[in-house]
Amino acid sequence: MVRIKAEPTSNNASETLLFVYGTLRRGFSNHEVYLADAFLVGKAVTAEKYALFVDDFPYLTRIPKVSRIVGELYRIDGPTLELIDCLEGHPDDYRREQIWVVANLGRHYWAWAYFYPEARGRLLTSGRYDSDDTA
Catalytic annotation, pick one of 48, 88, 97, 118: 88
Which alpha helices (DSSP H) does 8-111 contain, by range? 31-34, 78-88
Tell me if residue 22 falls in helix, strand or coil: coil
Active site residue 88: yes
Asked if 3 contacts 61 with a C-beta cutoff of 8 angstroms, the reply is no
Residue 58: count of CB within 10 angstroms of its CB:
27
**Which residues neighbour 93 within 8 Å (Cβ) at sequence distance 6 or greater?**
116
Residues marked as catalytic: 88
